[in-house]
């Protein structure tokens, strides 16, 4: 698959402008029939909306409403189904909490039998398996990766290299522009078999059916039957080893727990608390990059917030910092990169502080602001569902048309 970007820092924003209008334009271009028919192909008619949804520039409701205006869909349509997956992952996170960062149940091998470090040849796109190396190069150059390619990459890492899913999941989420802990880590668990009933496996024939020629992997470790691959996934020895030592390495982008200095982000200063005294404040954060809702006074203060506590644990590449900050700067008067304690001191005298809840930040936002519930598309499912099919059955019970969700 040809890269969508040239790999330069600014190119992410060139191909996926970080604006609400760019997201709306993508919604207008969605072709539901083509999506349903080709979504598993790496060159298929995917929507490209995931970064906008992850960072809250648009909501699932806006996506469905935009599509429905042109093409009313049954609730069982593949596009609606995929929107459901995103909300199901948030349901699972709400029910499981930080347990999504641990194996939910036993997989094909004991947890302790897997390596805990992602091998260098995987990180450097020199495994010698084209579908793996092309996926890694695309990830670094674009910050995006087709879902089918993500599944193949995860399956290779876990089942053929016997690397623990958490090592791969932490690495991948760090480099994705749409990196979301629930969607990413629970998807890796689904592939690994610790969040599903069996491991996800693929072979060279599968790659040839869904990927462009440059990704085809005949003559590699993938040219095996599914029975042989399943045996390897459950066996004591990894089927694949390190790639060629002399293969050309692709540099992994550096990860930064703090924003690039050129963005000029700092915390509140000594006079901030007095300036905000008695004011109504709306906090914008990286998972809710949109203007204040109706009800926030026009003379209120809109502040962008990056919290030390989250970003020191989950750093980003420079390109994602710039993409997110461009969107944040468009809807805020000022932007802070600070810790929770300093933010709380600066906001202590405000008449009110509000923000949108998000599980990436809930534990730190709660002391700072009254949190509005994040917008949802599907009816609430209070009962814990251990699988998507359980959740989907309950969330769509009695519904025939997707428009009934709006």
Name the CA dihedral angle for 325, 338, 92, 90, rounded to a multiple of 10 degrees: -30
DSSP 273: H
* Percentages of the chain per state (helix, strand, coil), in multiples of 5: 45, 10, 45
Residue 401 is classified by DSSP as B
Name the pTM for this structure: 0.95
The separation between CA 86 and the C-alpha centre of its own chain, rounded to angstroms, equals 9
Per-position pLDDT tens, the chain of length 406: 233 333 344 567 788 999 999 999 999 999 999 999 999 999 999 999 999 999 999 999 999 999 999 999 999 999 999 999 999 999 999 999 999 999 999 999 999 999 999 999 999 999 999 999 999 999 999 999 999 999 999 999 999 999 999 999 999 999 999 999 999 999 999 999 999 989 999 999 999 999 999 999 999 999 999 999 999 999 999 888 888 888 899 999 999 999 999 999 999 999 999 999 999 999 999 999 998 887 677 778 999 999 999 999 999 999 999 999 999 999 998 999 999 999 999 999 999 999 999 999 999 999 999 999 999 999 999 999 989 999 999 999 999 999 999 9
Indicate the helix (H) or strand (E) that contains 302.
strand 301-307
State whether the Cα torsion 63-66-71-73 is positive or negative: positive
Q: 406 Cβ partners below 8 Å, 6+ apart?
A: 61, 64, 65, 68
What is the Cα Rg of the chain in Å? 22
């Amino acid at each position: 698959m040809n890269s969508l970007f040239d790999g330069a820092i600014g190119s992410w924003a060139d191909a996926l402008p970080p604006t609400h209008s760019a997201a709306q334009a993508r919604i207008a271009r969605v072709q539901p029939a083509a999506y349903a028919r080709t979504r598993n192909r790496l060159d298929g008619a995917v929507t490209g909306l995931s970064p906008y949804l992850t960072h809250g520039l648009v909501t699932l409701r806006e996506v469905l409403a935009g599509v429905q205006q042109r093409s009313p869909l049954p609730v069982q349509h593949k596009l609606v189904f995929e929107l459901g997956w995103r909300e199901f992952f948030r349901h699972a996170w709400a029910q499981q909490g930080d347990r999504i960062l641990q194996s939910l149940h036993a997989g094909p091998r004991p947890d302790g039998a897997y390596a805990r470090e992602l091998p260098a040849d995987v990180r450097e796109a020199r495994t010698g398996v084209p579908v793996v190396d092309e996926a890694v190069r695309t990830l670094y150059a674009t910050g995006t990766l087709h879902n089918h390619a993500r599944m193949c990459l995860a399956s290779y890492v876990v089942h053929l290299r016997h690397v623990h899913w958490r090592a791969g999941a932490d690495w991948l989420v760090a480099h994705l522009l749409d990196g979301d802990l629930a969607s990413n880590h629970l998807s890796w668990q689904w592939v690994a078999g610790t969040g599903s009933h069996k491991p996800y496996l693929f072979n060279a024939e599968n790659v040839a059916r869904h990927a462009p020629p440059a990704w085809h992997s005949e003559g590699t470790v993938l040219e095996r039957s599914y029975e042989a691959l399943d045996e390897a996934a459950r066996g004591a020895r990894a089927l694949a080893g390190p790639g060629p030592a002399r293969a050309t390495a692709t540099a992994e982008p550096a990860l930064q727990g703090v924003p690039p200095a050129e963005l000029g982000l700092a915390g509140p200063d000594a006079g901030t608390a007095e300036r905000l005294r008695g004011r109504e404040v709306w906090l914008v954060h990286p998972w809710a990059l949109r203007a204040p809702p109706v009800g926030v006074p026009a003379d209120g203060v809109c502040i962008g917030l990056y919290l030390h506590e989250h970003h020191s644990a989950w750093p980003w590449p420079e390109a994602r910092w710039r993409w997110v900050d461009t969107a944040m700067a468009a809807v805020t008067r000022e932007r802070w990169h600070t810790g929770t304690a300093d933010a709380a001191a600066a906001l202590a005298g405000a008449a009110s502080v509000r923000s949108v809840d998000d599980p990436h930040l809930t534990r730190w936002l709660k002391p700072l602001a009254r949190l509005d519930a994040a917008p949802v598309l599907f009816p609430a499912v209070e009962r814990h569902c251990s699988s998507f099919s359980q959740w989907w059955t309950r969330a769509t019970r009695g519904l025939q048309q997707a428009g009934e969700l709006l």
